[in-house]
Structure 1
């Protein structure tokens, strides 16, 4: 097989983007958002989708300026703001958040399997089986990953479109529900649901770490991510219209698994089984994207000595094997912690949203900083309209963090958990940077030096000189 044939095409970029974005936790958020305001939730989804597209544009420009960086956002932020915010945001905003959200995914999947296939085994066994399958597939490298992702993304999106269209055109075997399209006519009631909708579009940037394996990356990476987000918005909108015809809004809002409820109301037992299959595809898709993407990010951070060196080691298929196993194990741990608790699942989704939003703010800030610091540096992709889109992105994300929940008690608890987590990470980051990395804590690293960190000789030379241990 030639080198060119091994490269990923545009369709693979779209499937990777879709892979993490469409997930069972998204179906839970979709049900909660639609159940709270009705079909008008689609407006909130469009706003959230556009905000995420501004982030995708910023990350695409950063990737164009610093191509083939395995650490992605970690290396961009290191060049802009120094190691301290980089380490905090990457460990908190990416590693913990992504592992936690994938654990939630696995927990929802286990619940769906246990209720649909009543076997005398604990539900967590289903999670263990799925985690093992995804781990082994990823250890076979990018080719296996691409093949698995393409099939899963196609089946997942196809199933959701068909189920949504059946509901939208009232073709189901279940009883059609008579209810208003919207639960509110006030736009002020819809605005807070943008924060719920934001979770539906998180994760398309997982293409960035594998961009070095993409054909014509400067075009296919940003285009694939944007197509992926637009595709998700259309599919989720069709689902909302289907919800309206077959699932009472209140039932949808209060259900721990609204997608299973919709499937059963739509097509009876067959619909529930079909939605369970969708849950299986979703957890394969999201967990596959998470394990692959995070292992690559950990590899890039290890090259910069921001994580233990073992994360940079690869197997004979050039896969960062330790990162794959590490991420998979902790996904299973979080699945066990949230197993069977709908309240824990909902809370963890919102906490994860805040972590992820903070990392997106840093991406926009990186673009603004590098535009000012390196205005003439060559970029194969540049965010249009100057600083306008990054500033809009930052403002929109800050607003969503401030309105992460309509319940003030839950909102304060989310802020508290986020604050404590970042405070602990700040202490860890300070000592790791000062005594392990032996670098100025708050000083940005020159761009060319960050790029040089991709070469294994950079680490060897610093280690030989006694700078890194």
Structure 2
């Protein structure tokens, strides 16, 4: 097939996968804590994510077009146990958690705007059932509106930010300090909150095979997308200052609704609720489709139970679809109607995602040492300096994941327990089912061969894999 996607398409995909209404929770929490100073925390987080995108681009250049992406990179880089822990913890849990939070925000918005005498959770269940049925039937009915939703979210944020900055809203203009708690330590600490605003841009990498001049356009498109998001969200924060008190933003379970109402009255609230409805459909549909496919792919390489690879009559991995949907509902129920729970779960998800990014940097350093002369269509500049900066930055953010020391320790405890459980499971699974050394990297050529479905069938037939 002739490559026909350009830089604009890569930017669109990057922006579309990063922007979600759950980002507005982090934006409201961050701005509510330190005011416009949060913009500097966002810039730091954005730059660190750009470093990670460069790392992902080089990994993709070494192992182009593998379906599992980071799973295969890590399997070849540092072995099966870290791969299982990373993919289940770093990607799957954080993706499901973020979709659950997104669904909770949507339900809260619908309940607040419509005011019907029914529990808010009803809207989460309704949206989940519709998306579940669509995916079980193999109907990607929402694919065509993915870009529309992304640009509607981005455009809404930009427009509402500009209205606030220039004081053009119909609401009452307020007066408050631009900066709260003006200490550099607070800026650095809030980078962990800002990190959530930029995760997911690497999901543009799988389209690289269809992009013209992918060596230049894929990394550049991700960098531009992250830069655009940082700029738009900075404008929105400056708009917050003129219409919404910082402490009210920090306390709100849906700061975008609060700002919309303060800015344009009921019309602004309805506008943001409509955007939240489109966003939850887009985000949850993408998560259900994407993760069920990853489950199926990992089952083919024996990294997960084989039943995840079973297909229904519509040729879709139905067990994974059910598992992801029910898990999203669980996280949505846990976070419903509470800004504290939503904020806590977002930070927990950030830790898992940071761990996956740290692993990506480690994979790259390992491949630089092991395969220094392997051909690469893209290479991160300045040797190992940028990956090391990425690792140190993400470790620091994990260590300072919350300004509140009590919340910080609760986040560490929860993520630590989950990682220990996953680690024990991964060791047992690798020794009993895969029958390979638990920490020995799998040769890159063998990992690439695993893309062929015959690889697993042959090993099972020979009794190597159970």
TM-score of the alignment, normalized to the shorter chain, above 0.5 = yes
- What SS does the corresponding residue of 2:176 show, helix, strand or coil? coil
8 A contact 1:16–1:289 mirrored in 2? no
In the superposition, relative to structure 1, how do residues 222 and 48 fare at CA in structure 2: closer, same or farther (>3 Å)? same
The separation in 2 between residues aligned to 1:86 and 1:132, in whole angstroms, is 31
Hey, what's the Cα distance between the residues in 2 that align with 1:315 and 1:226? Answer: 39
Structure 2: runs of 5 or more not aligned: none
Q: Does 1:286 align with 2:283?
A: yes
**Other-structure match for 1:132:** 129
Q: 2-side partners of 1:385 and 1:453: how far apart?
A: 33
* Partner residue of 2:247 out of 224, 227, 250: 250
Match for residue 82 of structure 1?
Answer: 79
Paired with 1:216 and 1:289, the residues of 2 have a C-alpha distance of 26
3-state SS of paired residue (2:402): coil
1:452 aligns with 2:449: yes
Shift of 1:396: 0.4
Give matches, 1:13-412, under 5 Å: 13-135=10-132, 146-209=143-206, 211-212=208-209, 217-313=214-310, 320-412=317-409
Give 3-state SS (helix, strand or coil) of 1:51's partner.
helix
Contact 1:71–1:299 (CA<8 Å) still a contact in 2? no
- Range that drifts further, 367-376 or 184-193: 184-193
**Cα gap change, 1:225 to 1:157, in 2 (>3 Å):** same
- RMSD over equivalenced CA pairs, Å: 2.2
The residue matched to 2:123 in structure 1 has which SS?
Answer: helix
TM-score (norm 1): 0.93
Aligned partners of 1:185 and 1:330: how far apart in 2? 40
| Mapped partners of 1:414, 1:124: distance in 2 | 25
* Deviation (angstroms), 1:331: 1.0
Distance 1:166 1:28 in 2: 20
Output one character per residue of 1:309-354: Cα deviation in whole Å (capped at 9) or x when no partner: 3434557887545434432232122212222232221111111111
Change (3 A) 1:143 1:279: closer
Shift of the 464–212 alpha-carbon distance from structure 1 to 2, 3 Å rule, reads farther
Is there any run of 5+ residues in structure 1 with no aligned partner, and where?
A: none
How far apart in 1 are the matches of 2:423 and 2:231? Answer: 40
Shift in Å, 1:289: 3.2
1:225-258 Cα shifts (integer Å, max 9, x gaps) = 2222112111111110110111111111222211
Normalising to structure 2: TM-score of the pair?
Answer: 0.94
Residue 67 of structure 1: CA displacement?
1.0
- Are 1:437 and 2:434 matched, yes or no? yes
For residue 19 of structure 1, report the CA deviation from its aligned partner.
Answer: 3.0
Q: Which moved more, 1:105-114 or 1:199-208?
A: 199-208
Per-residue CA deviations over 1:341-387 (Å, capped at 9, x if unaligned) read 32221111111111111111000010110011011111111111111
**Are the structure 2 counterparts of residues 54 and 14 from structure 1 closer, same or farther at C-alpha, using a change threshold of 3 Å?**
same
Over 3 Å counting, the alpha-carbon distance change for 1:392 and 1:308 in structure 2 is: same
- The Cα shift of 1:54 comes to 0.7
Aligned length: 466
Is the CA contact 1:403–1:411 (under 8 Å) kept in the aligned structure 2?
yes
* Distance in 2 separating the partners of 1:209 and 1:89: 19
Compared CA separation, residues 209 and 139, structure 1 to 2 (3 A): farther
CA offsets per residue over residues 407-435 of structure 1, 9 Å max, x none?
11111111111111011111111111100
Deviation at 1:281, TM superposition (A): 2.7
Q: 1:233 to 1:141 in 2, by over 3 A?
A: farther
Q: Measure the CA separation in 2 of the matches of 1:261 and 1:48.
A: 25
Deviation at 1:209, TM superposition (A): 4.6
Cα displacement (A) at 1:60: 1.0
Change (3 A) 1:315 1:235: farther
Counterpart of 1:416 (choices 413, 416, 419) is 413
| Aligned partner of residue 191 in structure 2, secondary structure | helix
In 2, Cα distance between the equivalents of 1:311 and 1:219? 36
With 280-289 and 37-46 compared, the bigger mean Cα shift is at 280-289
Paired residues of 1:38 and 1:183 also in contact (CA < 8 A): yes
